[in-house]
Structure 1
Amino acid sequence: MSRVVVCGSLNMDVVVQSARRPATGETLLGATVSFLPGGKGLNQAVAAARLGAPTAMIGAVGNDAFGNGLRSFLASEDIDATGVREIDGPATGVALIQVAGKDNAITVASGANHRFTRRMIRHAPHRGEVWLAQFEISVAETEAILKRAKAAGARTVLNLAPYVAHSDRLMSHVDVAVLNEIELAQSTGTRLQARSSMRDLTAAAQKLRAKGAGTVIATLGARGAVVVTGEAAKVVPAYKASVVDTTGAGDCFVGALAARLLGGASPVEAARFAVAAASCSVEKLGAAPAMPMARDVAARLARA
């Protein structure tokens, strides 16, 4: 059976909400705290699964309460978590997320995520699958995993987030690269700003394609996304949303994109669906718990 296989991070998100962020040295009272499943890998797996794609998660957690909780959460989302390995020693990854108004700031303690290796993978990739990775586990392991998946005939998707320096050869193992404008600037050495023109964004994306990536998709927040292929660059506009928390919106986009690619959609069609899914996700608190269901995205598309 074809499926989305997500290789990546699993974290417990400690979300602290306050009216504003404290200044350096300041103690700010009156905040609220929530403990929510997260990590780019887990978020993307949940997004794909909720949108109807058979999904498996591969990664590492610590031998602790957070690790047990994350695996239980995956099971409750009907995600195959047999590939999530428990490691003695390092703690499960934790992300401290400060939410102030509509913005967030994130600090990650990667823990067990940095101990994950390709040798922990029990199941070989297969033709017809979509293998998805990010940069919250070792770049060297990510490259090896994507190389093996592509050689087996699987479609490979890499979310270059958070940006980490990597070899140019990595792109030769990537069918679809997804990144925001900041990561696009970092990965190509290009000067880009929040309001950079589509011409400049496209030119930067073509630099990644020149390194081997088949398709490059730049996510642009409220501006939507731009999809750059060998034939053309297509702008996908954003959808209006009542923003509560932007945490995980990028992960929702990537997971939704993978789910649509698995179903046979073109990159542009998949990106249009993913933009709509991401607009739904920002209307709820948290990352993984805020991922929309297929009916939510269908309703958003119908109103467009």
Structure 2
Amino acid sequence: MEKVLVVGSLNMDFAVYMDRRPQAGETVMAQGMKLVPGGKGANQAYALGKLGADTSMIGAVGDDTFGQQMLANLEHVSVDTAGIKQIAGVETGKAFIEIEDSGQNSISVIAGANASVDEGLVLAQAERFAKADAVVMQLEIPVPSVIAAAKLAKKHNKTVVLDPAPARADLPDELWAQVDITKPNETELALLTGLPTNTEEEVVTAARSLIAKGVKNVLVTLGGDGTLLVNDSTVQKFPAYKVKAVDTTAAGDCFLAAFMSRFDGENFATAVDFGAKASAIAVTRQGAQTSIPTVEEVEKFN
């Protein structure tokens, strides 16, 4: 889609690399640490901008050095940051990420300024919703604000996309009823629905429970096993690309952004394939936004 509005979080990532994550009560030696811009919303906006979409973002950062860095990084890939508010006396959000040699990770988030993204801040940006083709949201900002954004997008007849992470079981039906596309992984899908997702059949059943709540399309990412599309008329599986992962931190964000940069409202196959290629490249690199590939890199990948 040509014009995409992202409503979501901005965090500075403290990424620590190690052979394996420690167990409770255990100390392990790390290989190193990197400070890199992140946050699910910012990652998706950055990737959309880098992949050529006309992108704007609504969110909040603190009036600190990290906030300035976050804004500058988005502006570097031509993301319109005028909708991102700098909150006086509040720190920019932070994420603490432990990353194993396998590429798997654990993430703890301090909301910081992201908690200040209230309904008023969202509704004050109605003009941005009117100009967008699609609105993309996540769950690292207050849920009432996500609902307000979804309803405002629907009021303007825009495509509503929800990345339901961090997943939670208490999302109200009034949110699901607004959603055109949601993109959980199988773990998130289980948390969202309370249903098992250990087999492909169970994944489809859980996805259909979201369809019953009003969601139009459920895209379930299955890591190396590909992606499942479930809607009222089809269940379709798309393959993944096999690579050696070193850091999966922003894989889902990269996939969704790349998908949206190519989605025309109807053709899922082409958009999912572009997303799969982009995320396959991203997991071979360290960092969140630093891992996002260029259009040329994705187009050459096979």
Instruction: Sort the TM-score into its range (normalised by shorter chain).
Output: over 0.9
- Relative distance call for 1:174 and 1:21 in structure 2 (3 A) is same
The corresponding residue for 1:254 is 256
Paired residue for 1:154? 158
CA distance in 2, matches of 1:266, 1:150: 21
Q: Match of 1:54, as an amino acid?
A: D
Mapped to 2, the partners of 1:57 and 1:241 lie a distance apart of: 31
CA contact (8 A) 1:227 1:268 kept: no
Paired with 1:264 and 1:210, the residues of 2 have a C-alpha distance of 21
> Shift of the alpha carbon at 1:166?
1.0
Partner of 1:218: 220
1:38 maps to 38
Return the letter of the residue paired with 2:188. Answer: E
Do the aligned residues in 1 keep the contact of 2:13 with 2:95 (CA within 8 Å)?
yes
Q: Is the 8 A contact 2:137 2:163 kept in 1?
A: yes
Structure 2 length as normaliser, TM-score?
A: 0.94
Q: How many residues align?
A: 297
- Which residue of the partner structure matches residue 55 of structure 2? 55
Contact 1:214 1:229 in 2 (8 A): yes
Displacement of 1:272: 2.1
1:1-304 map, 5 Å? 2-102=2-102, 103-121=104-122, 122-124=125-127, 125-126=129-130, 129-164=133-168, 165-193=170-198, 196-197=199-200, 199-261=201-263, 263-264=264-265, 266-300=267-301, 303=302
Checking the alignment, whether the CA contact within 8 Å between 2:196 and 2:203 is kept in structure 1 is no
- 1:234/1:268 contact within 8 Å kept: no
Per the normalisation by structure 1, the TM-score is 0.93
SS at match of 1:275: helix
Q: CA deviation at 1:123?
A: 4.4
Q: CA deviation at 1:25?
A: 3.7
- The percent of aligned pairs where both chains have the same amino acid is 38
What CA deviation, in whole Å up to 9, does each residue of 1:18-68 have, x standing for no partner? 222234344434531110000000111111112111111110011111111
Match of 1:144, SS state, is helix
Measured in 2, the distance between the counterparts of 1:43 and 1:274 equals 14
Give the distance between the partners of 1:274 and 1:157, measured in 2 at CA.
Answer: 15
CA contact (8 A) 2:196 2:206 kept: no
Query: Shift in Å at residue 119 of structure 1?
Result: 2.0
Cα deviation for residue 105 of structure 1 reads: 1.1
- Aligned residues of 2:16 and 2:30 also touching (Cα < 8 A): no
2:259 partner SS = helix
Instruction: Give the alignment's Cα RMSD to 1 decimal.
Output: 1.7
Measure the CA separation in 2 of the matches of 1:212 and 1:268. Answer: 22
Cα distance in structure 2, aligned partners of 1:192 and 1:30 = 33
- Partner SS for 1:82: strand
Structure 2: tracts of 5 or more residues without a match: none
Do the aligned partners of 2:118 and 2:144 also contact (CA within 8 Å) in 1?
no
